[in-house]
Amino acid sequence: MNRKRILLFSLPLLFFGLLVALFLRGLELDPRRVPSPLIGKPAPTFTLPRLHDPAKTFSTAEMKGKVWLLNVWASWCVACRDEQPLLVDFAQRHLVPIVGLDYKDDPRDGKRWLAALGDPYDVIAVDASGRVGIDWGVYGVPETFVIDKHGIIRHKVIGPIQPEILEHRLLPLIRRLQEEPA
Amino acid sequence: MIPELGHFALILALAVALVQASVPLVGAQLGIERWMRIARPAAWALMLCMAVAFGALSWAFVHDDFSVLYVANNSNTALPLVYKLSAVWGSHEGSLLLWATVLSLWTVAVSLFGRGLPLAMLSRVLSVMGMVSIGFLLFMLLTSNPFERVLPPPLEGRDLNPLLQDPGMAMHPPMLYMGYVGFSVAFAFAIAALIDGRLDAAWARWSRPWTTVAWMFLTLGITLGSWWAYNELGWGGWWFWDPVENASFMPWLVGTALVHSLAVTEKRGAFKAWTVLLAVFAFSLSLLGTFLVRSGVLTSVHAFATDPARGLFILAFLGVVVGGSLLLYAWRAPAVRSHVHFSPVSREAVLLLNNLLLVVTAASILLGTLYPLIVDALGVGKISVGAPYFNAVFVPLTLPLAFLVGVGAMLRWKQDRLERIWRHARWPAAVSLLAGLVLPLLFDHWTWQAALGIGLACWVGLTTLEGLRDRWAGRSRPLAALARTPRAFYGMSLAHFGIAVFVTGIALTTTYSLEKDVRLAPGESYVLGGYEFRMLGVHPVHGPNYEAQQGTLEVWRAGRRVAVLHPEKRVYRVQRNPMTEAAIDAGVLRDLFVALGEPLGSDGAWSVRLYYKPFIRWIWSGGLFMAVGGLLAATDRRYRQLVRRDARAMLEAVEATA
């Protein structure tokens, strides 16, 4: 039995060792927490076609002077399905305009998905190529940004919004921002 | 009282499993026959304990014993009885109980049908299965006790997740678990052979029928899951590349590779070390599936309530089981050598290619599923990987697989000639080419995806038929030749034919499905795919544990009423979440699928989603064909004869010593 052969047959074990290290790290990590360098910076501007009316466009300039949310989603995103009922519920309270960014998605899939799960958005922009997503530093989907009246990104939630986060972090922030002078 | 009995039965089961895992194994190593003989009664005792525990939890559900926390969280007095019973495995704790119970059933099955095995082998196999039982029983007793009480007990339960109140979902987990856990048998055989140090053809022959049966259940489980998703998630899809779907698909891919490489190991003595590794991988991926669902490291629609303590336990368990077996493998396998030669044109060569493609596909899916975690752990960022990646990887890898399947089955072992194969393959090639070019014209437009799909499906189907024809064509007594053909060969052909059916379904469904969101007031209608959908109205109805708005739509075609459909929008009384219950008129050539959206305006109009889905049933029929093929192959007379012959040999040996 030569040494090379033993090494070869130990490869699966080594590979598995790496996997276990990865999982150990994964247990410590919270898949939803991530720092964003964009917080406190002006929100990148964009002009994109609208999902329900591709002939028209949506531009970030339209939101000037308002506090608004940008929710990045896609029909292929599994975690978005978790989030959708909460967003739909939240949208019915009409507290703040919600702009959807349909990210790297086929618009037909997107529409079908909304029809099935509900549409909480005031307007949806289609980012089929993912270019705007890059500008906004989108790591994963879903992500939600809070933008203030001056067009500054004030907060970012990675992953599905949880009810506690909505009530205790997002809502107080939105109220405070809405009271700020334009 | 009864729940405490169940809890006690679990503790007793752990004690039995400890005995089963140690005594027979030591006996086999030291050659103490009395110790080895403990394995079989221990298997029965374990099953008995698990049956008591499972029965106790079922009893608590049937009698609405809400003092049991798990029952209170997953049941309700108004829940129909069938769903009370299926709610036993509707959530984390109970599904673990189901897993362990199924494992005890498999253990008893091995001890029953394995009577022909050498005693030392059987003892080792049952011991390894006992070790797996220990892991699951400890997991339940330490972190997820299904019998935990709650004081004071609530008056009413929180009801079963409405998504799970569906016949497909009631059957899906047991089937899936039969498959997952079934791979533990192949795993136990592999480990026993590694401990023994002898990896020969006999080992492959013993584990083959078990592996095939497990594979069959997993095939059925995945098919049922896909069918449930189509019925219940309400938007006409049938596969979502969700992490949990992937978790069941990876063991299936590796299991399929295992089924094929076992054939090579048994018939030709080749690929020995590789086959053992596949057996370890198939079961490891089944365990990994459990880990991914319950640990919270990935987000998924299927995720059970997550708890880091559970995640840590499963990880440790996984480390012991998989790490231990790979260590054993690294120690023993280098000594195993296969001195078998085969030419590049031979069945071995094609099966090797089949194995490579299947394993690479499984690895790519594993990579896609874990990639968000890898990126996160390396601190590079966070991403989510979706269907675009999986489709881009899966399709190019599986096309050559489907292309090879019929031809591979026709090739001879060791060496074959291309001319001979070409003689068999040329008419299927010509017909498939023609069919691919022409048949799509029968639908409303020609696309190359449909042409490729139909051509490939015809190719798979026809080469498989040609393989069958080869068994009798040119023989003097064709019928006798057909009767002599082993059942396993028919099983294989049927399973391969299932691929043809499956590919047809995918190609035509993805290409020619039509869908439309429309607003329909009573009396209005809409024509889709040649079918006229007439809205008659929407009325409230009362279910046992839900309120619903039920629509009535008639479907007409060519002046004839084809179907009356009743799609519903339900709100379950306890959990309050709205559920879309689609109505489906199923057919061999097409499904008509109607789902209610939202009420619009005051004239009784609703937004309605209409689908015309051609050939979608073929996708699941393909799965059924494969499963039935697996059943035929596993019940081949050969295996039964072997058991009988081995048993007779043992009896004679016993008589000789007496």
Q: What is the pLDDT of residues B174-223, one digit of tens each?
A: 899 999 999 999 999 999 999 988 787 888 888 999 999 999 999 999 99
B256 or B338, greater pLDDT: B256
Which phi and psi angles does B121 have, rounded to 5°?
-65, -50
Mutate to test the interface with B, among A3, A7, A11, A13 (most CBs of B within 10 A): A13
Are the C-beta atoms of B573 and B157 separated by less than 8 Å? no
Of B146, B131, B110, residue with least CA distance to B6: B146
In chain A, DSSP assigns E strands to: 47-49, 57-59, 68-73, 98-103, 123-127, 143-147, 153-158
Give residues 514 to 573 of B whose Cβ lies within 8 Å of A.
Answer: 515, 517
Q: Do B386 and A74 touch (CB under 8 A)?
A: yes
Measure the CA–CA gap between B99 and B84, rounded to whole angstroms.
18
pLDDT at B474 over 60: yes
Return the structure tokens found at B361: 């596909």
pLDDT at B143 over 80: yes
Return the structure tokens found at B520: 């329909």
Non-local CB neighbours of A33 within 8 Å, separated by 6+ positions: A158
Return the structure tokens found at B100: 């362990």
The DSSP symbol for B334 reads: G
Measure the CA–CA gap between B537 and B539, rounded to whole angstroms.
7
- Stretch among B39-43, B618-622, B637-641 having the lowest mean pLDDT: B637-641
pLDDT (mean) for B71-85: 91
pLDDT (mean) for B409-426: 88
Residues of B with Cβ-Cβ distance to A139 under 8 angstroms:
381-383
Return the structure tokens found at B121: 């082998």
pLDDT at B304 over 50: no
**CA-to-CA dists, residue B237 to B225, B517, B584, angstroms:** 12, 16, 13
Residue B252: its pLDDT value, please? Answer: 96
Element of type H or E holding B591: strand B590-600
CA distance B594 to chain A (A): 12
Q: Do B243 and A5 touch (CB under 8 A)?
A: no
Mutate to test the interface with A, among B231, B325, B376, B598 (most CBs of A within 10 A): B376
B363 contacts chain A (CB < 8 A): no
* Residue A97: cis peptide before it, omega within 30 degrees of 0: no
- Closest partner residue to B277 (CB to CB) among A12, A78, A81 is A12
pLDDT at A139 over 70: no
Q: What is the DSSP string of B100-136?
A: HHHHHHHHHHHHHHGGGS-HHHHHHHHHHHHHHHHHH
pLDDT (mean) for B78-102: 91
Return the structure tokens found at A99: 């702009």
User: CB-based burial of residue B473 (10 Å sphere; 0-12 exposed, 13-18 middle, 19+ buried)?
Assistant: exposed
pLDDT (mean) for B254-276: 92
pLDDT (mean) for B321-349: 88
Predicted interface score ipTM higher than 0.85: no
Non-local CB neighbours of B104 within 8 Å, separated by 6+ positions: B13, B43, B46, B47, B49, B50, B51, B133
Q: Do B323 and A8 touch (CB under 8 A)?
A: no
The DSSP symbol for A169 reads: I
Are the C-beta atoms of B594 and B608 separated by less than 8 Å? yes
Measure the CA–CA gap between B2 and B191, rounded to whole angstroms.
38
Q: What percent of chain B has pLDDT over 90?
A: 53
pLDDT (mean) for B139-150: 90
Q: Per-residue confidence at B336, pLDDT binned at 50, 70, 90?
A: confident
Residues of B with Cβ-Cβ distance to A27 under 8 angstroms:
295-297, 308, 311-312, 315
- Closest partner residue to A16 (CB to CB) among B236, B295, B322 is B322
Residues of B with Cβ-Cβ distance to A81 under 8 angstroms:
301
User: CB-based burial of residue A77 (10 Å sphere; 0-12 exposed, 13-18 middle, 19+ buried)?
Assistant: buried
Residues of A with Cβ-Cβ distance to B323 under 8 angstroms:
13, 16-17, 20
Non-local CB neighbours of B362 within 8 Å, separated by 6+ positions: B250, B253, B254, B257, B285
B163 contacts chain A (CB < 8 A): no
- Closest partner residue to A27 (CB to CB) among B308, B334, B384 is B308
pLDDT (mean) for B630-649: 76
pLDDT at A47 over 70: yes
In B204-336, DSSP assigns E strands to: none
B595 contacts chain A (CB < 8 A): yes
Return the structure tokens found at A45: 């501007």
Q: Do B386 and A85 touch (CB under 8 A)?
A: no
Find the closest chain A residue to B371 by CA distance: A22
Amino acid at position B115, single letter: R
* Residue B578: cis peptide before it, omega within 30 degrees of 0: no
pLDDT at A32 over 60: no
pLDDT at B251 over 70: yes
Q: Per-residue confidence at B300, pLDDT binned at 50, 70, 90?
A: very low
Residue B303: its pLDDT value, please? Answer: 42
pLDDT at B465 over 70: yes
Give residues 232 to 251 of B whose Cβ lies within 8 Å of A.
Answer: 233-236, 240-243
Q: How confident is the prediction for chain B on average, in pLDDT?
A: 88
Residue B458: its pLDDT value, please? Answer: 95
**CA-to-CA dists, residue B403 to B68, B342, B455, B616, B626, angstroms:** 54, 21, 10, 22, 17
| pTM for the predicted model, two decimal places | 0.81
Residue B302: its pLDDT value, please? Answer: 42
Tens of pLDDT, residue by residue over B111-140, are 998 888 899 999 999 999 999 999 999 999
Q: Do B382 and A112 touch (CB under 8 A)?
A: no
Residue B84: its pLDDT value, please? Answer: 94
CA distance B152 to chain A (A): 27
- Closest partner residue to A139 (CB to CB) among B241, B243, B383 is B383
